[in-house]
Amino acid sequence: MGEKLGKKWEIRFHGRGGQGAVTASKILAEAAYLSGFEAQSIPFFGAERRGAPVMAFTRVSYEAIHERSQVYTPDYVIVLDPIILDAVDVFRGLKDGGSIVINTVKSPMDFQFEQGSLLVATVDATGIAIKNNLLVAGTPVVNMPMLGAFLKIFSHIELETLEEVVMKKFGKNGKANVAAVREAYESTVVEKVRGSGKPSTEDVRRKRAVTMPVSTPSPGVAGRTRFWRDFRPEVDYDVCSNCLSCWLHCPESAIQRVGSRIEIDYEFCKGCLVCSAVCPKKAIRVSREVVV
């Protein structure tokens, strides 16, 4: 026990709104607590909605946890969604020699980073979620298999303890979730990967001066929100009567009038599907976005 005093682990989750990153961080805290640790689960709340990049944090410690701040230099990072690798620097602040678990069909060697070396674990959690029918509104929910994958590189919590918490949490869906946890645990590939070892010195924290809280109309105030989209609306111009109902209702002004017709700006469309819902002609078709 002596060498364990002061030992604590900080874990950062990256996902998109609706994928269950917050639930995963809480379940991990519960499993850690049941294993005899102190634990804490912090959701990071921004102006996110379904599909927006989100974070959550878990702290696990042998001693009382006094931290109330977010996690900036995690020991572990868990990436629930491969799509956000393009939008968010998931490696940021991750300790050199730390570990990252990524939901992807790629292999650990495919990832580049600025740390000297990392333990990289990969798992096709999306595939496992689909196989076990963990779907909400057609979208695979990968949070539980990702916890299974995490335990492959985090040995302080027994798989059985996690399964017990998952079973309790999900009731009638407990069995499917536990099956996914176990399958992910067993299929996770772990490798030690070398990085560039050259951390960028650029200070990403900008100085700001704010006087009046005034904003002017502009597209994409939340950045390029195409990453938020699970479903893609497409206009069937043969059916469209150009009534402009979708143009009026789009909450992001991502539908524009171009010449005599409307066009969807896919850089900023979040896939909320309000356009499809309000279209009186059912001229806006919906399809799944391609999953990486």
Partner 1 sequence: MKSNTTRAVRIITGNQAAALAAKNAKVRVVAAYPITPATPVVEELSKMVETGEMKAHFILVESEHSAMAACIGASAAGSRTFTATSSHGLAYMHELLHYATNARTPVVMAVANRAIGPGWNIWADLSDSISQRDTGWMQFYCSDNQEIYDTIIMAYRIAEHRDVLLPAMVCYDGFVLSHTAMPIEITDVNDFIDEYHPVWRLDFDEPSTHGNILPPDYFMELRREVCEAHERALKVMKEVEREFYEYSGRLTPLILEEYRLEDADVAMVTMGAISSEAKIAVDELRKRGVKAGLLRLKAFRPFPKQEVVEKLGSVEKVYVFDRSVSPGFDGQLFSELKAVLWDLRSPPEVYGRIVGLGGRDVTSRVFEKAVLGELDKKWVMEVIY
Would you tell me which residues interact with partner 1 (CB under 8 A)? 1, 26, 29-30, 33-43, 45, 65-70, 72-73, 205, 210, 213
Residues pairing with 192 in the sheet:
119
Polymer length in residues for the chain = 292
Closest approach, Cβ 65 to partner 1, in A, equals: 7
Instruction: Give whichever of 34 and 278 is closer to partner 1, judged by the CB atom.
Output: 34
In whole angstroms, give the CA distance from residue 230 to residue 166.
26
Nearer to partner 1 by Cβ, of 42 and 283: the residue is 42
Nearer to partner 1, 61 or 245 (CB): 61
Nearest to 195 by CA among 92, 86, 79: 92
Return d(Cα 192, Cα 33) in angstroms, integer.
29
Amino acid 7 reads K
Q: Which is nearer to partner 1, 41 or 132 (CB)?
A: 41
**C-beta of 38 vs 265, nearer to partner 1:** 38
Of all residues in the chain, what percent are helix, strand and coil, respectively (each to 5)? 30, 25, 45
Is beta strand 117-123 parallel, antiparallel or unpaired with respect to 189-194? antiparallel
Centre a 10 Å sphere on the Cβ of residue 21 and count the other Cβ atoms it contains: 28
Nearest approach, Cβ of residue 34 and partner 1 (Å): 6
Output the smallest distance, CB 4 to partner 1, in A: 9
In whole angstroms, how close is the CB of 195 to partner 1 at the nearest point? 21
CA within 13 Å, CB half, 242: 8
Q: Rounded to the nearest whole angstrom, what is the least distance from the CB of residue 29 to partner 1 in the complex?
A: 6
